[in-house]
């Protein structure tokens, strides 16, 4: 898969998350995204809002996301918020960085997920 294909997938992932969790859309943050494949590691700098994506290590990142490339592809293609949450809960995806920012994102996502489940019940 080429770098431009990967950038398009990252853009799609950001758009999907922003659609499902609108409160995260205006968040200004730089993310260091590490996609691990078979013997290959690709690192992307993702600046939000935007996104502005470049294939480089993000020295100014507040959050670092690590996810196997195959899992990332699957989450973008078929994922929804619940699938992303499962990936983090089961260790397929890992987030590290500034605790306050990670907790903020986790709280916003948890609240939105709760709203989604409540609205499905009605």
Q: pLDDT for 14-51, tens place per residue? A: 999 999 999 998 999 999 999 998 888 999 999 998 89
The answer on pLDDT for 119 being more than 80 is no
Q: How far is CA 24 from the centre of its chain?
A: 11
Q: Tell me the residue length of the chain.
A: 122
Pairing of the two strands 63-68 and 29-36: parallel
Residue range 68-92: average pLDDT? 90
Report the C-alpha gap between 13 and 78 in whole angstroms: 11
For the stretch 50-69, pLDDT in tens is 899 999 999 999 999 999 99
- Structure confidence at residue 80 as a pLDDT band (50, 70, 90): confident
Chain center to CA of 66:
9
């Amino acid at each position: 898969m080429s770098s431009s294909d990967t950038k398009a997938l990252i853009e799609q992932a950001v758009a999907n998350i922003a659609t499902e969790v609108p409160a995260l859309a205006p968040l200004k943050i730089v993310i260091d995204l590490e996609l691990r494949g078979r013997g290959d590691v690709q690192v992307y700098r993702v600046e939000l809002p935007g996104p502005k994506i470049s294939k480089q290590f993000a020295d100014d990142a507040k959050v670092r996301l690590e996810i196997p490339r195959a899992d990332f592809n699957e989450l973008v293609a078929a994922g929804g918020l619940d699938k992303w949450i499962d990936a983090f809960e089961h260790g397929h995806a890992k987030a590290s960085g500034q605790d306050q920012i990670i907790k903020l994102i986790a709280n916003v996502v948890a609240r939105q997920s709760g709203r989604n489940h409540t609205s499905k019940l009605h």
